[in-house]
C-alpha cells in the first residue's frame, strides 16, 4: 500500500499545475518510487502525459461522473501496488463545486499541495494563500509552491508575508525563467503518445523540481491512504463476467484516443475482450466482434486520411448493414456521420451511418457534465435509466438530413441541460457525450445481454 498520497491543486487554471505535477512525478520516479498517477476531472489528455513519466496508467477520478464510492474504490485499489499516489487537480482548487479538486481531496482524505502563481504580485500572494486556508476548514492544505518567481527580492517579499500571516508550510519556489513548453491545440495539450514534452525539457523539469522543491518535506507532510470500511464493494466495482468472452472492436489511433481507461477494465471484468483497430491505418475490421466502439479524439485533424481510407469506411457500412451494433462518442460519432467539414471549410466524406453533417468551428460549442436519462430502450439501457458523462467539442451537428430516413432515427437521450441527444438508427448509437461507466455498472450487464440476443439498438 502507498505510503504517501497527495493532490496538486492550484489557485486557478494556467498556474502551472500540469507542468509541475509532471515534474514531481518524474522526480519521484527518478528516486526509485513506484508512482501511481490520477487525474481529477473529466480530462482525457493529462492522464496520457502522466503515463509517459510514470510508466503507469493514470486514472480519472471524477466525483460527478463516478460518484464518491467509485472514486474511493478505484483510488484505494490502485494505491495497493504503488509507493506514492500523486493526483493532479482540475482548474482552481474550489472550481467545479461538488466535483472540485478540494471536494475530491476531502473524499479521499488526502492533503493538497497548492500552487500559487506569484507572477505580477508580491505581498498579495500572502493574502491569497490566507484566503485559501480559511475558505474550507475541513480541507487540509499540506504545503504551498510558489511558481513564476521573478527574483530573490520577489521571493523575500512573499516569504516574509507568508511567514507572518499564514500557517501553510512553503515547500517550493520555482523561478519565472524556468520555461517548459508542452504543445497545445484546440482541445488542450497534445497527447502523451505525441511526446509533447521533449527529452531535454523533461530533464530540465526534473532538475528544477529537485533543486527548487522540498520533496522530502512533501512526502513527510503527505499521508498514507486511509480507506473507510463503508467504501468497500460499492459502485464502481465491475460485474464479474462468468460467461464466455465476447469480443469488442475498439477504434484507437491518432484520431480516436479519448477513452476512460477504467471503462476498458470494467468491460473486461464483465467478460468482454478488447480488440483494437485503426480507422486511419487499417484496411479491414477485426473479425468475430460483437460491437464496434468509436471513442472521441481528433477526427477533424485527420479527416482527409479517414476519408481516403475508403476500404475501412466501406467495411464499417457493411457491418452496419449486416446488423452489427456500433457505438460512437463525440469524435467517434462524427466519424459515423455522413460528412465532416474541417476548420478550413473542406468537406470530407465519413462513414454515412448517421445522415448528418458535423462542422468544426473556431470556438467551443459545448462544455460541461451531462446526466443522461434514456427516453427509449437502446444499446446502453432501458428507458428511464440514468448515465453520467461529459461533453466538450468545437463542432456543430446538422441533423436536418434526417427526414424520412429508413430505418428511422430515434433520439434516445434527455440531458440535464434540457436538450435532446443520443441518436439511434438501426444497430448504431451515437452521441457527443463521453460516458463513464463506473457509477452505472448495470450498463455493461445490459450491453452484454443486448449483444447476446444480437438485437439492434434502435426501438421499433
Q: Sign of dihedral through CA atoms 198, 204, 207, 213? A: negative
CA distance linking residue 44 with residue 298, whole number of Å:
12
Output phi, psi for 368, to 5 deg. 150, 165
CA distance linking residue 116 with residue 139, whole number of Å:
17
CA distance linking residue 327 with residue 457, whole number of Å:
10
Instruction: Answer yes or no: 330 catalytic.
Output: yes
CA distance linking residue 388 with residue 374, whole number of Å:
11
Task: Specify whether the CB–CB gap between 458 and 425 falls below 8 A.
Answer: yes
Location of C-alpha cell 483494437: 276
**Listed residue (89, 169, 104) closest to 138, CA to CA:** 104
Following DSSP, what letter does each residue of 332-392 receive, concatenated? HHHHHEEEEE-TTS-EEE---SEEEEEEE-SS--EEEEEEEEESS-BTTB-TT-EEEEEEE
Burial of 317 from C-beta contacts in 10 A (0-12 / 13-18 / 19+): middle
- Residue in 257, 330, 378, 412 annotated catalytic: 330
Distances (CA, A) of 266 to 72, 235, 273, 439: 16, 12, 11, 11
Task: Specify whether the CB–CB gap between 100 and 94 falls below 8 A.
Answer: yes
CA distance linking residue 254 with residue 227, whole number of Å:
38
The set of catalytic residues is 330
Amino acid at each position: 500500500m502507498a505510503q504517501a498520497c497527495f493532490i496538486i491543486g492550484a489557485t486557478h487554471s494556467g498556474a502551472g499545475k500540469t507542468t509541475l505535477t509532471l515534474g514531481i512525478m518524474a522526480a519521484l520516479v527518478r528516486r526509485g518510487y513506484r508512482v501511481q498517477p490520477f487525474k481529477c476531472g473529466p480530462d482525457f489528455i493529462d492522464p496520457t502525459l502522466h503515463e509517459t513519466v510514470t510508466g503507469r496508467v493514470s486514472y480519472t477520478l471524477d466525483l460527478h461522473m463516478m460518484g464518491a464510492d467509485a472514486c474511493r474504490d478505484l483510488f484505494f485499489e490502485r494505491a495497493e501496488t504503488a509507493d506514492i499516489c500523486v493526483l493532479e487537480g482540475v482548474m482552481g482548487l474550489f472550481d467545479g463545486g461538488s466535483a472540485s479538486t478540494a471536494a475530491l481531496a476531502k473524499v479521499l482524505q488526502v492533503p493538497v499541495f497548492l500552487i500559487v502563481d506569484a507572477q505580477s504580485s508580491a505581498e498579495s500572494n500572502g493574502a491569497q494563500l490566507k484566503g485559501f486556508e480559511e475558505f474550507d476548514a475541513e480541507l487540509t492544505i499540506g504545503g504551498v509552491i510558489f511558481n513564476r518567481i521573478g527574483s530573490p527580492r520577489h521571493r523575500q517579499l512573499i516569504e516574509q508575508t507568508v511567514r507572518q500571516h499564514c500557517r501553510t508550510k512553503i515547500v517550493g519556489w520555482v523561478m519565472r525563467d524556468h520555461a517548459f513548453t508542452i504543445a497545445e491545440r484546440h482541445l488542450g495539450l497534445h497527447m502523451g503518445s505525441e511526446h509533447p514534452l521533449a527529452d531535454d525539457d523533461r530533464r530540465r523539469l526534473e532538475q528544477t523540481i529537485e533543486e527548487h522543491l522540498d520533496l522530502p518535506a512533501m512526502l513527510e507532510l503527505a499521508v498514507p491512504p486511509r480507506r473507510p470500511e463503508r467504501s468497500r464493494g460499492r459502485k464502481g466495482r465491475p460485474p464479474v463476467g462468468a460467461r464466455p468472452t465476447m469480443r469488442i472492436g475498439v477504434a484507437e489511433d491518432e484520431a480516436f484516443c479519448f477513452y476512460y481507461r477504467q471503462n476498458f477494465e470494467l468491460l473486461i471484468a464483465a467478460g468482454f475482450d478488447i480488440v483494437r483497430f485503426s480507422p486511419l491505418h487499417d484496411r479491414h475490421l477485426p473479425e468475430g466482434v460483437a460491437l464496434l466502439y468509436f471513442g472521441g479524439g481528433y477526427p477533424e485533424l485527420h479527416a482527409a486520411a479517414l476519408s481516403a481510407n475508403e476500404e475501412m469506411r466501406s467495411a464499417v457500412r457493411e457491418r452496419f448493414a449486416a446488423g452489427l451494433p456500433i457505438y460512437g462518442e463525440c469524435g467517434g460519432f462524427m466519424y459515423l456521420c455522413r460528412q465532416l467539414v474541417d476548420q478550413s471549410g473542406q468537406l470530407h466524406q465519413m462513414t454515412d451511418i448517421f445522415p448528418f453533417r458535423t462542422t468544426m468551428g473556431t470556438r467551443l460549442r459545448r462544455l460541461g457534465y451531462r446526466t443522461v436519462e434514456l427516453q427509449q430502450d437502446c444499446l446502453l439501457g432501458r428507458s428511464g435509466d440514468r448515465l453520467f458523462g461529459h461533453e466538450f467539442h468545437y463542432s456543430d451537428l446538422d441533423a436536418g438530413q434526417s427526414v424520412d430516413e429508413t430505418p428511422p432515427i430515434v433520439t434516445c437521450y434527455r440531458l440535464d441541460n434540457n436538450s435532446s441527444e443520443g441518436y439511434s438508427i438501426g444497430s448504431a448509437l451515437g452521441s457527443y457525450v463521453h460516458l463513464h461507466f463506473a457509477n452505472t455498472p448495470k450498463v455493461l450487464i445490459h450491453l452484454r445481454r443486448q449483444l447476446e440476443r444480437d438485437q439492434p439498438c434502435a426501438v421499433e
